[in-house]
C-alpha cells in the first residue's frame, strides 16, 4: 500500500506474537495509516473511520504523501535475494552476513 500511496486503516492481529503491531505502529506514526486495536475494531468503527477520512481531501493527501515517504521500493527483491543467498550458501553466504 505504501508503494502506491494508499492511505490505510490497519488492524494488527493480536495473536501473532506482536509482529503485526510492530509493523503497523511506524506506518501509523508516519501518518500513512490509522491503527485500530483488534478489540476496538467493529463494523461501526470501520464505517466511522471511512466516513471521517474519505471526504477529507486534505487528510487523504497527507496520508498519501506519508505512505509514499514510507515506501521502500525494491524491498521485496532485496528480501528475495537474501533468502536465495541463505538457501544457496547458508548464513555466511547471505548478502548481509546475517
Question: In this structure, is residue 86 part of a structural domain?
Answer: no
pLDDT in tens, 55-87: 999 999 999 999 999 998 998 899 999 999 998
Domain carrying residue 46: 2-73
Question: In this structure, is residue 66 part of a structural domain?
Answer: yes
Question: In this structure, is residue 55 part of a structural domain?
Answer: yes
Question: In this structure, is residue 94 part of a structural domain?
Answer: no
Question: In this structure, is residue 46 part of a structural domain?
Answer: yes
- Phi–psi pair at 61, nearest 5 degrees: -65, -40
Question: In this structure, is residue 51 part of a structural domain?
Answer: yes
14, 55, 65, 80, 83 from 58: Cα distances, Å: 31, 9, 11, 37, 40
Q: Is the pLDDT of residue 17 over 70?
A: yes
Domain holding 52: CATH number? 3.40.50.2000
Q: In total, how many domains does the chain have? A: 1
| CB-CB neighbours of 93 under 10 Å | 13
DSSP 8-state class, residue 2: G
pLDDT in tens, 32-62: 999 999 999 999 999 999 999 999 999 999 9
Amino acid at each position: 500500500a505504501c508503494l502506491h500511496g494508499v492511505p490505510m486503516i490497519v488492524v494488527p492481529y493480536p495473536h501473532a506474537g506482536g509482529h503485526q503491531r510492530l509493523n503497523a505502529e511506524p506506518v501509523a506514526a508516519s501518518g500513512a495509516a490509522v491503527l485500530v486495536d483488534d478489540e476496538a475494531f467493529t463494523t461501526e468503527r470501520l464505517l466511522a473511520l471511512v466516513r471521517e477520512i474519505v471526504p477529507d481531501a486534505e487528510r487523504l493527501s497527507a496520508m498519501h504523501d506519508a505512505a509514499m515517504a514510507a515506501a521502500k521500493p525494491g524491498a521485496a527483491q532485496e528480501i528475495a535475494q537474501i533468502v536465495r543467498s541463505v538457501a544457496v550458501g547458508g548464513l555466511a553466504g547471505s548478502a548481509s552476513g546475517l
